[in-house]
């Protein structure tokens, strides 16, 4: 990632508004996201469908940043974590599929982290 593209990603406002992945999906957990390095609004939900699990970010809003990634993690340092993908936007509602073999009881946190600069933007504690 170049310096110019990093600066551009900070000031851009990208909005994504995905629907729930399944109409009759069951909400297993819901946590408010908390500020770490940057102000964040919104919540993270763990949703169970007929055959799949998802992490959903709802009413999400944050300052843009380069190379932001979404993780389920056993701790705040990503020692044992699953990267679910790049942050799709810095505003909106969006879904990330959780791998089928994931034992959710092992993962205590949802983390949004800048991979380029190794900065934690936001977190949610799934046990709250």
Q: Are 70 and 87 in contact (CB under 8 A)?
A: yes
Please give the pLDDT value at position 128.
Answer: 57
Mean per-residue pLDDT over the chain, rounded: 87
Q: What is the pLDDT of residues 10-56, one digit of tens each?
A: 445 777 899 988 888 999 999 999 988 778 899 999 999 998 999 99
Model confidence at 5: pLDDT above 60? no
DSSP secondary structure letters along 9-64 = HHH---EEEPPPSSTTPEEEEEEE-EESSS-EEEEEEEEE-SS-EEEEEEEEEE--
Model confidence at 87: pLDDT above 80? yes
Q: How many residues belong to the chain?
A: 128
The stretch 122-126 carries a mean pLDDT of 93
């Amino acid at each position: 990632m170049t310096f110019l593209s990093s600066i551009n990603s900070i000031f851009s406002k990208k909005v994504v508004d995905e629907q729930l992945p399944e109409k009759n999906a069951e909400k297993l957990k819901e946590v408010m996201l908390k500020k770490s390095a940057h102000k964040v609004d919104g919540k993270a939900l763990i949703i169970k469908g007929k055959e799949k699990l998802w992490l959903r970010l709802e009413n999400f809003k944050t300052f843009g940043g380069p190379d932001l990634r979404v993780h389920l993690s056993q701790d705040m340092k990503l020692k044992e974590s699953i990267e679910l993908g790049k942050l799709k936007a810095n505003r909106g509602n969006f879904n990330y599929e959780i791998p089928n073999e994931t034992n959710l009881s092992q993962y205590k946190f949802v983390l949004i982290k800048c991979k380029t600069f190794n900065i934690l933007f936001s977190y949610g504690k799934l046990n709250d």
